[in-house]
Amino acid sequence: MLQNDQNIMTQIKTTFILFSLLMMTACGYHLRGNVELPKALKAVYLQNGSEDLRRSFKKTLKYIDGKLVGTREAAGLIVQVLKERMDRRVLSLSNTGRVNEEELVYTLHFRMFDKKGKPLKEVQEIEIRRDFFNDQGDVLAKNNENETIRIEMYDQAVLSIAQRARAILDDK
């Protein structure tokens, strides 16, 4: 009886795993890895971006085997930042009037150009929001969490720009 129960459980597990793999494949899911990128994304020029955005661009491009170049002439893709803003909004207060919960909102307006300076698309906007608890008891942890969230928001913006650029360049 015990051996039979183990065989049934093994069959159920195997069926579940096969079904899960089939569903992931059917929805287009694939593991992250080396993906062949358009040549234009291998060299990007960032015009007018903040130092935090520039840092995230360098890190992300390095990961995908690209680089942030110093001149428009060396670039395959030019990203022109028109407006960039990081805002903070209070979501809730404690009974003593201290901030309990905050929201960070990062807004970025930009345009993309090909290496000849031809616009690839109209002005694009990215808005990223993050809520976080403001722990009044641990100020150092609060500052570290705030900085980590900000870095993640810049990284997400860069990935969004890269995805949009890839979609545009793949259509051409």
pLDDT of amino acid 71: 93
Residues contacting 77, CB < 8 A, separation 6+:
40, 41, 43, 44, 45, 112, 113, 114, 115, 165, 169
Co-location of 24 and 42 in the same domain: no
Residues 107 and 84: beta-carbon distance below 8 Å: yes
Co-location of 139 and 88 in the same domain: yes
Beta bridge pairs of residue 45: 78
Residue 140's H or E segment, with its range, is helix 139-171
Handedness of CA 9, 14, 19, 24 (dihedral sign): positive
Co-location of 81 and 18 in the same domain: no
Residues written for the chain: 172
Co-location of 46 and 61 in the same domain: yes
| CATH, residue 121 | 3.30.160.150
Residues 10 and 17: beta-carbon distance below 8 Å: no
Spatial separation of the C-alpha atoms in residues 16 and 26, rounded to whole Å: 15
Burial bucket for residue 161 (CB in 10 Å: 0-12, 13-18, 19+): buried
Q: For the segment 92-110, what is each residue's pLDDT rounded down to a tens digit?
A: 777 877 777 888 999 999 9
Spatial separation of the C-alpha atoms in residues 95 and 78, rounded to whole Å: 49
Checking if the pLDDT of 17 tops 70, the result is: no
Residue 59 carries which side chain, given as an amino acid letter? K
Share of the chain above pLDDT 90, in %: 43
**β-bridge pairing 99-114 and 124-133:** antiparallel
Checking if the pLDDT of 14 tops 90, the result is: no
pLDDT of amino acid 31: 45
**Higher pLDDT, residue 43 or 6:** 43
Co-location of 25 and 82 in the same domain: no
Residue 157 carries which side chain, given as an amino acid letter? A
Q: For the segment 40-74, what is each residue's pLDDT rounded down to a tens digit?
A: 788 999 999 999 999 999 998 888 788 999 999 99
Co-location of 85 and 131 in the same domain: yes
pLDDT of amino acid 46: 96
Number of domains in the chain: 2
pLDDT of amino acid 30: 47
Which range marks the domain in which residue 11 is found? 1-31
pTM attached to this predicted model = 0.72
Residue 21's H or E segment, with its range, is helix 2-26
**Higher pLDDT, residue 43 or 37:** 43
Co-location of 162 and 88 in the same domain: yes
